[in-house]
Structure 1
Amino acid sequence: MSPSAPAVLSVEAKNEEAMQRLGSDLALALGAGDLLALKGDLGAGKTTLARALIRCLANDPALDVPSPTFTLVQDYEARLPILHVDLYRLDSAEEVDELGLDEALERGVVLVEWPERAEGALPGTPITLAIAHEGSGRRITIKGPAPGIARIARSLFKRRFLANAGQETAQRHFLLGDASTRAYETITDAGLPKRILMDAPKRPDGPVIRDGKPYSQIAHLAESVTPFVAVGNFLRERGLAAPVIYSQDLDQGLLLIEHLGDGNFLDDGAPVGNRYKLASEVLAHFHRKPAPSTLPMAGNEAYHLPAYDGDALRIEVELLLDWYLPFATGEKASSAVREQYEAAWSRVFDVLDGAEKHLVIRDYHSPNLIWRPEEDGLAKIGVIDFQDAVIGPAAYDVASLAMDARVTIGASLEKQIVEAYIAARLAQGPFDRVAFERAYAIMAAQRNAKILGIFVRLDRRDGKPNYLRHLPRIRDYFARALAHPALEPVRHFVDEHRILPEEAHAG
């Protein structure tokens, strides 16, 4: 099977249920600015398709979707706001200008029935769906701009993937898209537990920035779903609750995986300390035995975990100079400032040579941890989003948890989380607390320096300003980590260049 998108798509719908599934599949492929034009005779199935599409966008299978034949337009607030338009009773194409289609496309999707009544008057380049009778079913021919056709082809490909997994008739629901190219859907099917469809096509390489490599290769970011499969299998082997993989297409980046639950680590927006402490004990359990650098895959293949080496550590902290420093000070870093910054971190990273190494999950914090109260012991903590795992300082994941980038963890709770980890490690046998605390501080500082840069980049480059609201928390974490004596070179740089506001130091 190939998900490549031809110029024209042709889809068969054998019955009304298949037409409804097509409506959902289309809804999951849409983006703001898409205009869908539904063509077909009376009784062709346009209304069936439109209702299924709108209900999927609204995530409400029982939503009342009346035909807008008499009102001309019907507006729905949904994941993507959608304007449903029926032009059957339109007197002239010029009346289209009065329907507000341009404004609707700026914020969401427009779905038009009987577009023939307004040929040439519809804004933009529509995605046209022509529905024709074929035996007792329907044949739907889809034409339109290449990007839209490619998204629809990908969604239809995912339906075929589900069919090969024995779930052709399953219902698909948008779950989320994260800060990367990955997207997730919830899959429900009669008689089966809820599952997750993970869509993570191979990450395209970015521009070469150093030593002939793009950022993703230097920082060792996963470029396919292969690491997710290998690492997930290993985590489950070591007793962690990582999702079971039911079906996979490694080449196309699709996985059908276990749904671990919906529980989180918050109570009315506040962190629940006992859940965080149990999550730290899960890490201690995981770290009790060394991790191999090579993980088995199906057949004779193997996945080699990259090392969280000096190049990766350094290029990540450079994000603070590249993005956060100009944001905070209004000035770009000069060559002299860069040299001073890099020299400070190099002195700090040298201390990590003797730190305990293990498999580093890398984003072990509340968005990627599931609270499972119905389970026992360590299985109460579900672990997801571990495809960027590397071999590096074991303290990194403890810092990721205790200084949660998405939830404010006060200094007192941070200490409790760290102490729970240390107590569990000491109960296992000899454990160098001083060396751990030193590595913990270094990795906490490294991680938060990186995140300061990433969150500003998400705003300035990617148009996602919501991430800026997290900056006060990350600055506070960074300042806490810099208080350790091992961070003195970096702390001196931060103070000299006034990177952190006074309140962060005070915190």
Structure 2
Amino acid sequence: MPFSTKRTLGSPEITGDLGAKIALWLRPGDFIALTGPLGAGKTVLARAIISALGPSPEEVPSPSFTLVQHYPDLRLPAAHFDLYRISEQGELDELGIEDALEAGLVLVEWADRFESALPSDRLEIALEDTSPDMREAMLIGHGGWDARLRRSVDLAAFIDGAGWTHARRQWLKGDASTRAYERLVDPASGQSALVMNAPRGPDGPPVRDGLSYSRIAHLAEDVNAFVAVDRHLLALDLSAPQILAADTGRGFLLIEDLGNCLYGDLIASHSDLSAPYEAAVDALCRIHAAPPPDGLAIGDSKMHPLSRYDPAAMLIEVELLVDWAWPAWKGAPCPHDIREAYCDAWSNNLASLGGPEVLTLRDFHSPNLIWLPEREGAARAGLIDFQDAVIGHPAYDLVSLAQDARIDLPDGLERHIVDYWLACRPAHVADISRDHFEADYALLGAQRAAKIAGIFTRLAERDGKPDYLAHMPRVLEFLRANLVHPRLAEIADWFDEHVELELEIGRCAATA
């Protein structure tokens, strides 16, 4: 029996609020089936959902006569269909519902007229009048929507339990993960907080030695990792978000809102970047100065173990390039012998990686840094998205910051970031020579670039997120630049023989 939940709609405002909440749940490929008699409010609710996907169109007319209205400029392109005047399957096929589903969201009024043709994964909203001034909406989750609807109900209960029942819930753009975020704004005080919706991820199939990819790469599988690292960073007087409420079992967190001033926005606005990036490096130095713990406290008696960012983890990450980017570039899977040579070259180099160990956040770059100029020192760099932290080399987070996969840093800033860290690094990581550090920096920069090239291709090919490919020329330029270092000669030789990076950079730039 599909999961269902009922809502009473006593006013246009309540209907609009329901539409806004439904809009928070939506993603490309979703199908909403609106059913109910004439005058039950199907168009009113569809209009509320579409308007909440903003920027709101000037008007959202009923598609009763046009049969379909398209809204391509919303954050999620939407198509609104009305099947009341459709009588045959052939007419239905000509409307283009399948094409619209590939592009974004589909809302269909009178969907029950062709129930056998509806997708198995859909949200059904059955509306009915219960009195002249009252309607009821029964939300029914079919297929994959069963679990999604249950989770939306659990999330609403979590928000209510945290004392934010009357808050306005605003959609926030997420990251490449399965996590979702909302901003809650109290209408009376104007205070805000963020909700993290992070269901525990499936372990995935075994890919090597009986272990899944996430286990080998040491990826966090639940919010306990975020809670533990967050507590550690706060104890260092760094600007990680305070946790205001938590349901770690379900994967819900209510956290401090650090604002919207992302480092990437600073670059886009041509702001002076010296202070923000020096604050970020100051934060890294404070993290690096603390002895790397084997585990971090989640609560009074529970610990989150920290894995070491070992060669096995780094190797399986760079394999993403030959598993995903190679087929996209070459039109066929990478031959076994060429793949083996690639892995051997990386293994030989990663085995030589040494030096001091520090807590490594792994995604220390512009999308996860928020400028807080009202704070002081290292606390001016707000830190988010650090749940995959491991024990690793101090150069890894530094190269993540200085060779940013998402934005072009101004000329000279990368060199300034590295030199500033070398001047400020804590004593216990100062033993490594500058030449040795620069070699490690190049190796880890190349490793990160190869991994990201594979991830961005996978996001485009498997997950339907082609926008990430716009960053590929930058990522491949970083890979090419790092491979110039003599220590990486074996890896560079493999690329020279099998992949013309300059050619692929040009191709990626032409299609970005």
Q: TM-score, normalised by structure 2?
A: 0.85
2:479 is aligned to 478
1:120 is aligned to 114
8 Å Cα contact 1:243/1:259 also seen in 2: yes
Task: In structure 2, give the amino acid aligned to 1:480.
Answer: A
Post-superposition Cα deviations, 1:308-344, rounded to whole Å, max 9, x if no partner, equal 1121011112222222334445564444333433332
234, 237, 248: which one aligns with 1:236: 234
8 Å Cα contact 2:141/2:148 also seen in 1: no
Partner Cα distance (1:472, 1:429) in 2: 33
Partner Cα distance (2:139, 2:429) in 1: 64
Partner Cα distance (1:503, 1:70) in 2: 49
Partner Cα distance (2:394, 2:195) in 1: 30
58, 76, 79: which one aligns with 2:75: 79
1:415 is aligned to 415
2:215 is aligned to 217
Task: In structure 2, give the amino acid aligned to 1:267.
Answer: I
Partner Cα distance (1:341, 1:104) in 2: 41
8 Å Cα contact 2:198/2:222 also seen in 1: yes
Partner Cα distance (1:320, 1:142) in 2: 42
141, 165, 168: which one aligns with 2:165: 168
1:308 is aligned to 309
C-alpha distance 80-471 of structure 1, shift in aligned 2 (>3 A) = closer
Greater shift, 388-397 or 8-17, is seen at 8-17
1:57 is aligned to 53
14, 21, 25: which one aligns with 1:25: 21
C-alpha distance 101-476 of structure 1, shift in aligned 2 (>3 A) = closer
Partner Cα distance (2:368, 2:93) in 1: 46
C-alpha distance 123-255 of structure 1, shift in aligned 2 (>3 A) = same
2:5 is aligned to 10
Partner Cα distance (2:392, 2:158) in 1: 35
Cα drift, residue 230 of structure 1: 0.7
Structure 1 unaligned residues grouped into runs of 5+: 1-5
8 Å Cα contact 2:361/2:386 also seen in 1: yes
Give 3-state SS (helix, strand or coil) of 1:287's partner.
helix
C-alpha distance 165-98 of structure 1, shift in aligned 2 (>3 A) = same
Cα drift, residue 305 of structure 1: 0.9
1:387 is aligned to 387
Instruction: Provide the alpha-carbon RMSD of the alignment.
Output: 3.4
Partner Cα distance (2:450, 2:64) in 1: 56
Give 3-state SS (helix, strand or coil) of 1:470's partner.
helix
C-alpha distance 23-431 of structure 1, shift in aligned 2 (>3 A) = same
Task: In structure 1, give the amino acid aligned to 2:4.
Answer: L
Partner Cα distance (2:395, 2:252) in 1: 31
Cα drift, residue 142 of structure 1: 2.6
Give 3-state SS (helix, strand or coil) of 1:352's partner.
coil
Greater shift, 330-339 or 162-171, is seen at 330-339
Q: Does 1:39 align with 2:40?
A: no
Partner Cα distance (1:352, 1:393) in 2: 9
8 Å Cα contact 1:56/1:173 also seen in 2: no
Greater shift, 148-157 or 398-407, is seen at 148-157
Task: In structure 2, give the amino acid aligned to 1:416.
Answer: H
1:163-312 alignment, distance < 5 Å: 163-190=160-187, 191-265=189-263, 266-268=266-268, 273-274=273-274, 275-312=276-313
C-alpha distance 300-333 of structure 1, shift in aligned 2 (>3 A) = same
Task: In structure 2, give the amino acid aligned to 1:26.
Answer: I
C-alpha distance 162-440 of structure 1, shift in aligned 2 (>3 A) = same
126, 137, 144: which one aligns with 1:129: 126
Aligned residues between the structures: 493
8 Å Cα contact 2:86/2:92 also seen in 1: no
1:3 is aligned to none
Identity %: 41
C-alpha distance 474-13 of structure 1, shift in aligned 2 (>3 A) = same
Cα drift, residue 96 of structure 1: 7.4
Partner Cα distance (2:86, 2:493) in 1: 72
Post-superposition Cα deviations, 1:139-191, rounded to whole Å, max 9, x if no partner, equal 43233532234323322221111111111222222212322211212222222
Task: In structure 2, give the amino acid aligned to 1:252.
Answer: R
1:364-443 alignment, distance < 5 Å: 364-409=364-409, 412-425=412-425, 430-434=430-434, 435-443=436-444
Cα drift, residue 298 of structure 1: 1.6
8 Å Cα contact 2:41/2:127 also seen in 1: no
8 Å Cα contact 1:188/1:195 also seen in 2: yes
Q: TM-score, normalised by structure 1?
A: 0.85
Partner Cα distance (2:241, 2:343) in 1: 39
Partner Cα distance (2:374, 2:8) in 1: 41
Cα drift, residue 223 of structure 1: 0.9
Cα drift, residue 58 of structure 1: 1.9
8 Å Cα contact 1:21/1:169 also seen in 2: no
Partner Cα distance (2:7, 2:455) in 1: 44
Partner Cα distance (2:53, 2:186) in 1: 18
Partner Cα distance (2:499, 2:65) in 1: 64
2:509 is aligned to none
C-alpha distance 376-336 of structure 1, shift in aligned 2 (>3 A) = same
1:488 is aligned to 489
C-alpha distance 85-385 of structure 1, shift in aligned 2 (>3 A) = same
Partner Cα distance (1:178, 1:163) in 2: 25
Cα drift, residue 71 of structure 1: 7.5
